[in-house]
Structure 1
């Protein structure tokens, strides 16, 4: 998908795809109101005869080395799924689900059924891609958001969605062409060299089921952890409430971590104990608390996923854990006075986050403390801790 305002941005992508034959689909009305959906309609309909799968890339994508081989290897092990080759490092749900898969040791991250589909690099079996093209065709271009419409299609058709971990595509960080879509955008877990071997993708679907259970919108114990504006927060997904998938209404971790089975005292004590033995450049204090909390909660969650598997899974690689934490540090520490102000601070915070993840993985799996209750005189499955009111 290409817009002429980006000049020759699509050319390097075509080259990086070889020996796959990539075709450039240009916005059919580049002078009109900017609409990714308008170009997506053409791109999803441009399926080559005889193809088994159809991949759509946007023109601000950056492809990993050996891209074509890695894509083929991945498809071979999940041929019936919709596969995202990228998730945005700060997306409300999918970034956390990707980090969770990476830390749990899985090459596949089941995505949220409610959040927008990562459309920067998305692949479907050809039969499903044709259905999607027909689905998008009558939607007015003024809707603009192709990622929201693709998500709606996949939800209605029950298309299983996975992200490849690590991601085979990153965002090049080019200026956005759409109002309201600014900020920095990069991959959650990037496939830095050396990229994974073919055997990396060969893992049973049991892990897909275990991870997918974390975001099915069926139970009140479903949650995600985020680091944004230099705060670690917990978002309970609250199924059946009608809240949109991109909603970022969260609670500060220290107030609400008891709802996911761990006390704030345990988290804080772990950080204090770890820093007591710290050597080398010390991480800045304020962001250290937030990155430690996020890493520890992520490790606990991954431990619970691994505990429920019918057969043992090889542990996550240090590279995968470090990539998941690094993108949290780079995307989440943005508030004044609470950032990684230099390379030494950044490296120390990443080291701290990795240590927190490992500590969480080694701790016993948490038992959620979420209960049904009565609030305001109306019976319902509301969430409370019996003491705090927010």
Structure 2
């Protein structure tokens, strides 16, 4: 799905899809109100004749190496699911669920039913894509946000959504067309070194085990969040219909005992202690580990997305790398304690 203001990006993106043949669906009213939904309606309706699956990619996407082979292997492994090839590095719930899956060495992360859909690169079985197109068609373009409408569709149709871990798509450093000022990047991107294609054929029982960890509908269901250089617990408060993206957070030190964490185990103070605590609580929430090859990259984006701009500048690249190691240290300390028990 393409806006003419990004004409310089389309050729490279189409070539990166080869040997898959990409078709460009252009915004039908590029001078009108900026509305991803307007173009998404047409992109989701453009299912190829005889296709089994339909993939919609936004025009500011960057694709991993060997993209087509990776996509085909992913489809073969999870043919009935809605598959996200990208999730944003600080989305309220999904970014944590992806990191939790990466920590467990999983190839797939079951995503939240209430967070917005990662629409940068999303794949569906062809019949579901057609149903989505019919669902989106009557919604006014002024609603703008295709990701929220797609999430609503998946909830209403009870379609399970998985994110590929690592992601096959990154978001390029391109100015937003809808006035969003935040930086957007993938939670964990495969980049130039994607996994062997057999990676995607991991046992589907792990999907169910990971999903069960955040669909318990108990009062202490939570995500761990790094935001503004502080660590928070984001209690999902199931059944309350509380918006996934609200800005309210529960500071970890005050509320950690509710999830069985003694805050006194966290050494020191300041930003290092905040990221150490985040890693420790992720470790407490992680299933048995099976070669967590993508954990460090996932923690790195956690730190990068979670720091205040002033702290990003103050620490610099080396300092931020040390913070990633502190987050990994907290994770490892907790996992070692669990193994010892």
| Coarse TM-score class (shorter-chain normalised) | over 0.9
Per the TM alignment, residue 8 of structure 1 is displaced from its structure 2 partner at its CA by 2.0
Q: Indicate yes or no: 2:283 matched with 1:299.
A: yes
In 2: Cα distance, 1:340 partner to 1:88 partner: 24
Q: Indicate yes or no: 2:82 matched with 1:78.
A: no
Q: Indicate yes or no: 2:278 matched with 1:286.
A: no
Per the TM alignment, residue 336 of structure 1 is displaced from its structure 2 partner at its CA by 3.3
In 1: Cα distance, 2:279 partner to 2:43 partner: 39
Query: Match for residue 2 of structure 1?
Result: 2
Query: Match for residue 304 of structure 2?
Result: 330
Query: Match for residue 356 of structure 1?
Result: 330
Per the TM alignment, residue 172 of structure 1 is displaced from its structure 2 partner at its CA by 0.4
Per the TM alignment, residue 337 of structure 1 is displaced from its structure 2 partner at its CA by 4.7
Query: Match for residue 197 of structure 2?
Result: 198
1:46-65 matches, within 5 Å, as 46-65=46-65
Contact conserved, 2:304 with 2:312, CA < 8 A, in 1?
Answer: no
Per the TM alignment, residue 328 of structure 1 is displaced from its structure 2 partner at its CA by 1.0
In 2: Cα distance, 1:363 partner to 1:74 partner: 35
Q: Deviations over 1:94-145 (max 9, x none)?
A: 0000000000111100000001100000000001001000100111111111
In 2: Cα distance, 1:188 partner to 1:157 partner: 26
Query: Match for residue 386 of structure 1?
Result: none
SS where residue 109 of structure 1 aligns? strand
Q: Which has the higher contact order (CA 8 A, sep 6+)?
A: 2
1:94-173 matches, within 5 Å, as 94-173=94-173
Contact conserved, 2:229 with 2:311, CA < 8 A, in 1?
Answer: no
Per the TM alignment, residue 212 of structure 1 is displaced from its structure 2 partner at its CA by 1.1
Contact conserved, 1:291 with 1:353, CA < 8 A, in 2?
Answer: yes
Supply the RMSD in Å over aligned alpha carbons: 1.5
In 2: Cα distance, 1:110 partner to 1:90 partner: 16
In 2: Cα distance, 1:116 partner to 1:217 partner: 20
**Which structure 1 residue ranges, 4+ long, deviate > 3 Å from structure 2?**
335-340
Per the TM alignment, residue 12 of structure 1 is displaced from its structure 2 partner at its CA by 1.1
Query: Match for residue 315 of structure 1?
Result: 291
Contact conserved, 1:70 with 1:198, CA < 8 A, in 2?
Answer: yes
SS where residue 117 of structure 1 aligns? coil
Q: Deviations over 1:5-38 (max 9, x none)?
A: 1222222110100000001100001111111000
**Closer, same or farther: CA 242–21 of 1 in aligned 2, 3 Å:** same
Per the TM alignment, residue 297 of structure 1 is displaced from its structure 2 partner at its CA by 0.7
In 2: Cα distance, 1:173 partner to 1:360 partner: 36
SS where residue 39 of structure 1 aligns? helix
Q: Give the TM-score normalised by structure 1.
A: 0.84
In 1: Cα distance, 2:191 partner to 2:39 partner: 30
Query: Match for residue 370 of structure 1?
Result: none
Query: Match for residue 371 of structure 1?
Result: none
In 1: Cα distance, 2:177 partner to 2:120 partner: 14
Query: Match for residue 178 of structure 2?
Result: 178
Residue segments in structure 2 that go unaligned for 5+ positions in a row: none
Query: Match for residue 91 of structure 2?
Result: 91
Comparing 50-59 with 210-219, which one deviates more in the overlay?
210-219
Query: Match for residue 66 of structure 2?
Result: 66
Per the TM alignment, residue 246 of structure 1 is displaced from its structure 2 partner at its CA by 1.6
Query: Match for residue 206 of structure 2?
Result: 207
In 2: Cα distance, 1:99 partner to 1:340 partner: 26
Contact conserved, 1:230 with 1:335, CA < 8 A, in 2?
Answer: no
Per the TM alignment, residue 258 of structure 1 is displaced from its structure 2 partner at its CA by 0.8
Residue segments in structure 1 that go unaligned for 5+ positions in a row: 273-284, 307-312, 366-390
Contact conserved, 1:82 with 1:122, CA < 8 A, in 2?
Answer: yes
SS where residue 363 of structure 1 aligns? helix
Q: Give the TM-score normalised by structure 2.
A: 0.96
Query: Match for residue 317 of structure 2?
Result: 343
Aligned residues: 339
Contact conserved, 1:226 with 1:294, CA < 8 A, in 2?
Answer: yes
Larger Rg: 1 or 2?
1
